[in-house]
Amino acid sequence: MRNKNAFDLVIYLSIVSIFIALSVSAYLYGKQLGHNLSSTGTDWATFGSFFGGVFSPMVSFVTLIAIIQTIKLQRELLENQSNEFTKLHNLQVQTFQVQESQLTHAKELVEQEKISTYKQTLLTVIAQRIVLHQKVIDRAADGARFLLTEKMKTDGLTVEPQLTENIETKESYEKKVSLFHELAIKIAITKYSSIAELDREFGLAYLKI
């Protein structure tokens, strides 16, 4: 806007200068040659050549200034348009990045919800296995107590093989129960990135138990 006002001022001053120069030249020309209008074609031709020689460079100069200023204004307009386009492009990129981030976050939430649900399923399976193993432990313990009681009642009764088997069974399943507890705690506190990762770790640990 400031450049446009300066351009308008230059044009205005140039036009005023041309009219002033025209008036001064006409006055000097008339004063030098007389104020009466000539009826001779040669005088008028001379008059035209005089004004053409005086004002043609001035008009050409003003035209040149106008052309230069027009080119400058067009360049500034293109620069402004380029800046606006850059700002718009950056805004679109930022908007896209925000939307992409929100979408990624939403996918992560959905995936974590699936993982959490699957965790609960696996923990339920582990709890069921612990209950079953505990029943085996209780039966082995009851069997060992029964054998000891029978041995005390009956002299010479051989119960050592069955007693040893019950004790070994009890100890073996107690170890498995302990491992299941460790696995349950690990699954509960570990953060997994996918269901496949959780399933793989559970499968390997379950096979070892």
71 and 115 assigned to the same domain: no
The residue type of 154 is T
197 and 139 assigned to the same domain: yes
pLDDT in tens, 96-130: 999 999 998 898 889 999 999 999 999 999 999 99
72 and 161 assigned to the same domain: no
pLDDT in tens, 142-201: 998 888 888 888 777 777 888 899 999 999 999 999 999 999 999 999 989 899 999 999
CB–CB of 150/159 below 8 Å? yes
Quote the pLDDT of residue 23: 75
90 and 164 assigned to the same domain: no
37 and 92 assigned to the same domain: yes
Cα dihedral sign, 123-124-125-129: positive
Instruction: State which of 103, 123, 138 marks the end of a domain.
Output: 103
35 and 87 assigned to the same domain: yes
Question: Is pLDDT above 90 for 39?
Answer: no
CB–CB of 129/135 below 8 Å? no
CB–CB of 150/157 below 8 Å? yes
The Cβ-side half-sphere exposure at 138, using a 13 Å CA radius, reads 6
Domains of the chain: total: 2
133 and 165 assigned to the same domain: yes
Take residue 150 and report the two structure tokens written for it. Answer: 């029978």
112 sits in which H/E element: helix 41-153
96 and 129 assigned to the same domain: no
User: Which residue's structure tokens are 């939307």?
Assistant: 99
95 and 130 assigned to the same domain: no
Instruction: State which of 65, 85, 103 marks the end of a domain.
Output: 103
φ, ψ of residue 159 in degrees (nearest 5): -125, 5
Rg (CA), the chain: 53
Q: What residues make up the domain containing 134? A: 106-208
123 and 85 assigned to the same domain: no
Q: Which is more confidently placed, 139 or 14? A: 139
90 and 125 assigned to the same domain: no
Rounded to an integer, what distance in angstroms lies between the CA atom of residue 51 and that of residue 34? 16
Question: Is pLDDT above 90 for 16?
Answer: no
55 and 119 assigned to the same domain: no
Instruction: State which of 55, 71, 103 marks the end of a domain.
Output: 103
